Structure 1
């Protein structure tokens, strides 16, 4: 198995970019999950460029909305769709069969709509907060997009079976060892810490050392907290649905991104 096949599978699965046909095997599935943060780099750079428009006078909230629009388009909004379906399924109650039926219906219910609105509002507010300080926030937001994709590997770590009838779940769930997922978490944490380094350098002469410590601490904590939130969601979904589906993977990415962005704002 080549890394190229895994990267192509990750690109075709987690973005709208064409990647050609790839045969999915346990090895290519594992590679694709671990390379998901790398596969989303071109999209993260597009988000970066949109966020930089604050330097030419675009209001931070407008730039934030545009960045989320680019992100949704670049991923075919599949993570948002997974979030809506997962929340609808979790809220269906009654029986496991009823929950799975609701998830597969294709319709978005009131709970799913509410989840989408709340998550997008929080993401937009967090991005606008980071952009209120100018261009410094742009690379941090781009790094948050990259880091959030590690949630796919974390959600698919061994420990829970795939959900019944889920093709994505059958292909990906259980293919990543927890230790490997932990190493990926540490890697994306390093990416986030590096993304705040321009801010740290700008504050190097600041007598308020606490400001620098706060910024670095928030960057170091963001990915672990975001991915932990995805793990909590996975556990709840596995109990309710009897396993992990493709929708849960997408929901985990969105939840991770939201928690990462909010955590980053705490350092500013």
Structure 2
């Protein structure tokens, strides 16, 4: 695929149009292999934007209500992404939870109905994310809170680059467009930048200890997402959009939990 939607700033616009509710020109809403490399940057932007409503009720540490602030951040992320990744996580939970063969599991994932596994996955994910982020916000300044949100939103999306290296599942239009499109260089660069950024942010927040914990948050997020990807690809015969959504939510959640744990073990 060539043209503005696949390369340069057009690739970023296509990624914004595909993965967020942010307004972009209709001509830029053309998904293709090049769109995936912009996901980490999209995640960083989403993290910053999602943090804005929280600042109305929380000003750092215990100044305000960190629990409400965390709920506003997670809710805003869902709104900014149209709930796309949460929907994918729910569908994957229903498909894998069914215990059916790949073809039947994929058919279940395509249904509009929400099953018990999806409900459990959604409720559990949102509860853990809000609780973990609340603990992180209560322990830091406003700037540190925004950095933490950005770290977690980026981590989940870097994980998608790794997931996309696997073949697409049968019948997946999104998978055909982006799975396997990211080069090893793109994946390695995105991972290195995420790790370096996390270490630098953690270093600024809490010295060497913070640098280690924040970098560990990225590594563990990628590791957990890789396990989800491997299991889903094994069960479904490949990856699809629902797998990507589950990978985003898994990476985000694990990164938040690690950051919350760093305060508990201070």
TM bucket, shorter chain: 0.7 to 0.9
Counterparts of 1:140 and 1:93, CA distance in 2: 36
2:35 is matched with 32
Q: Helix, strand or coil for the counterpart of 1:35?
A: helix
Do structure 1's residue 261 and structure 2's residue 256 form an aligned pair?
A: yes
Do structure 1's residue 151 and structure 2's residue 155 form an aligned pair?
A: no
Counterparts of 1:144 and 1:95, CA distance in 2: 33
Q: Helix, strand or coil for the counterpart of 2:214?
A: helix
Counterparts of 2:234 and 2:66, CA distance in 1: 40
2:58 is matched with 54
Counting matched residue pairs gives 252
Q: Helix, strand or coil for the counterpart of 1:149?
A: helix
1:192 is matched with 198
Q: Helix, strand or coil for the counterpart of 1:79?
A: helix
Counterparts of 2:112 and 2:44, CA distance in 1: 30
Normalised to the residue count of structure 2, the TM-score between the two structures is 0.88
Aligned partners of 1:33 and 1:150 also within 8 Å: no
Counterparts of 2:150 and 2:229, CA distance in 1: 25
Aligned partners of 2:198 and 2:215 also within 8 Å: yes
Residue 22 of structure 1: how far off its partner (Å): 4.0
2:128 is matched with 122
Which blocks of at least 5 consecutive residues in structure 2 are unaligned?
Answer: none
Counterparts of 2:220 and 2:94, CA distance in 1: 24
- Residues 126 and 41 (structure 1 numbering): CA distance in 2 closer, same or farther, change over 3 Å? same
Counterparts of 2:145 and 2:13, CA distance in 1: 30
Residue 223 of structure 1: how far off its partner (Å): 1.2
Question: Equivalences for 1:216-255 in 2 at 5 Å?
Answer: 216-255=211-250
Name the stretch that deviates more: 163-172 or 1-10: 1-10
Counterparts of 2:115 and 2:255, CA distance in 1: 26
Deviations 1:83-103 (A, max 9, x none): 000011101113222201110
Normalised to the residue count of structure 1, the TM-score between the two structures is 0.87
Deviations 1:183-216 (A, max 9, x none): 211111222223334423xxxxxxxxxxx43321
Do structure 1's residue 165 and structure 2's residue 171 form an aligned pair?
A: yes
1:205 is matched with none
Counterparts of 2:200 and 2:257, CA distance in 1: 18
Counterparts of 1:113 and 1:231, CA distance in 2: 23
Counterparts of 1:3 and 1:114, CA distance in 2: 40
Which blocks of at least 5 consecutive residues in structure 1 are unaligned?
Answer: 201-211
- Residues 17 and 23 (structure 1 numbering): CA distance in 2 closer, same or farther, change over 3 Å? closer
Name the stretch that deviates more: 190-199 or 104-113: 190-199
Aligned partners of 2:199 and 2:215 also within 8 Å: yes
Counterparts of 2:200 and 2:211, CA distance in 1: 9
Counterparts of 1:148 and 1:234, CA distance in 2: 12
1:8 is matched with 13
1:141 is matched with 149
Residue 119 of structure 1: how far off its partner (Å): 0.9
